[in-house]
Amino acid sequence: MNKDQFLSRRRALLAGAAVLGAAGAAGAAHLLTADPDPPGRSAAAPAAGAKANRAALKPSAYRLQPIAGYGPARTRPARPLVRHEPFLRMSGHGRSMVLTFDDGPDPRYTPDILRTLKAHDVRAMFFVCGERAVDGKDMLREMAEEGHVVGNHTWSHPLLTRLSPHAIRSEIERTSDIIEEAYGERPAWFRAPYGGWNRAAFRLCAELGMEPLGWTVDTLDWRAPGSDTIERRVINGAAPGVVVLSHDAGGNRSQSVRALRDYLPRLLDSGYHVTVPRRQYT
C-alpha cells in the first residue's frame, strides 16, 4: 500500500461521528465528534459469537448525527482551539466507550492488546511515549493500519508542570515527529503524563494540531492489583461516554493484557460500542 492509499484508508476508518466532552462542559465548544462505526469494521473478521450477540443490541442511535453548532468537516477550523481542560468523556450519544492504553509501545504487551482488539473488531487509542516508539515504529504502523488512534504522550513521560515551556515543546514535538515517521501522519490527540496539565501544554496542543484527552475511569492497572480487579473496575465504571485509562507499558502489564481479554467481550455483549474519537477540526 503506498502512502496515499494508506492515508485514504485511514481517513475512511476514521470517518463517522460520536461525541467527546470535557469535564462538566456542556457547551458545543467542548464537544467533539468521534467514530462509532468505521467502515473498516465490516471488512475485518469479528468474533462470531460476540458479533451475533452485538447485532441484536446495536440500535441505530449509534449512528450519530453532527452536533448542533458544528458544521461538516470543511467548516471546521484548521487547528483545535486552545482548551482549558482536557476532554474526559464522550457526551450524550448512546452506549459508546473509549479504551485507551498509555506509555507504550512495548513488544511484550502491545501486540497482545492489538490481537485482542482485532479479534473483537474494535478500535482503541494508544498514547505512546517517543522514547519507546522510536524502537517500536512497526507497532505504531500496525495500530494505524488497523484503525486505532495513536496519540502523543510525550517523549520521556515527565510531569509537565515541572518543565519550562521550551522543554514541554521538545517533549511533545519530538514524539509527534516519531509518530509521523512511523506511518506518515502527525497525531491528533495528546495526553499529559499523570494527568498533569498546564497552560503551556494546552497551548502547545492547539499549536501542534492536537486535542487534549484525559479519562473518566482509571483502572490503576499500573499498581498490578490483579486482572480480576482491573476487569471489575472497567465493568463497574462502564457507562455511556466513559473513557477508560489503562497501560500497555511502563512495567509488567500482563494483568492489563489479561483483563482486556475478559472485559472487552463483556462490554460488547452488554451493548457497548467501543470506539475512537475523530479529529474535529480538519
Contact 144, 150 (CB under 8 A): yes
DSSP 35-95: ESS-GGGGGS---HHHHHHHHHH--GGGSPPPPTT---GGGS-SS----SS-EEEE-SSSS
Contact 193, 221 (CB under 8 A): no
Give, as one character, the DSSP assignment of residue 28: G
Selected binder of Zn ion within 39, 193, 225, 251 (CB under 5 A)? 193
- Nearest CB to Zn ion, comparing residues 245 and 260: 245
- Nearest CB to Zn ion, comparing residues 37 and 103: 103
Exactly one of 102, 103, 112, 221 is catalytic; name it. Answer: 102
Size of site (CB under 5 A) for Zn ion: 3
Contact 267, 53 (CB under 8 A): no
Known catalytic membership, residue 177: no
Range in contact with Zn ion (rule: CB under 5 A) among 97-105, 178-186, 196-204, 234-242: 97-105
Range in contact with Zn ion (rule: CB under 5 A) among 89-97, 101-109, 158-166, 274-282: 101-109
Range in contact with Zn ion (rule: CB under 5 A) among 32-40, 190-198, 258-266, 272-280: 190-198
Q: How far is the CB of 156 from Zn ion (least distance, A)?
A: 11
CB-based burial label for 75 (10 Å; 0-12, 13-18, 19+): exposed
103 binds Zn ion (CB under 5 A): yes
221 binds Zn ion (CB under 5 A): no
Known catalytic membership, residue 93: no
35 binds Zn ion (CB under 5 A): no
Contact 212, 201 (CB under 8 A): yes
Q: How far is the CB of 153 from Zn ion (least distance, A)?
A: 6
Alpha helix positions (H), the chain: 3-13, 48-57, 110-119, 130-133, 137-145, 165-183, 199-207, 227-237, 254-269
Selected binder of Zn ion within 102, 171, 231, 248 (CB under 5 A)? 102
State the residues that interact with Zn ion by CB under 5 A. 102-103, 193
**Active-site residue set:** 102, 247
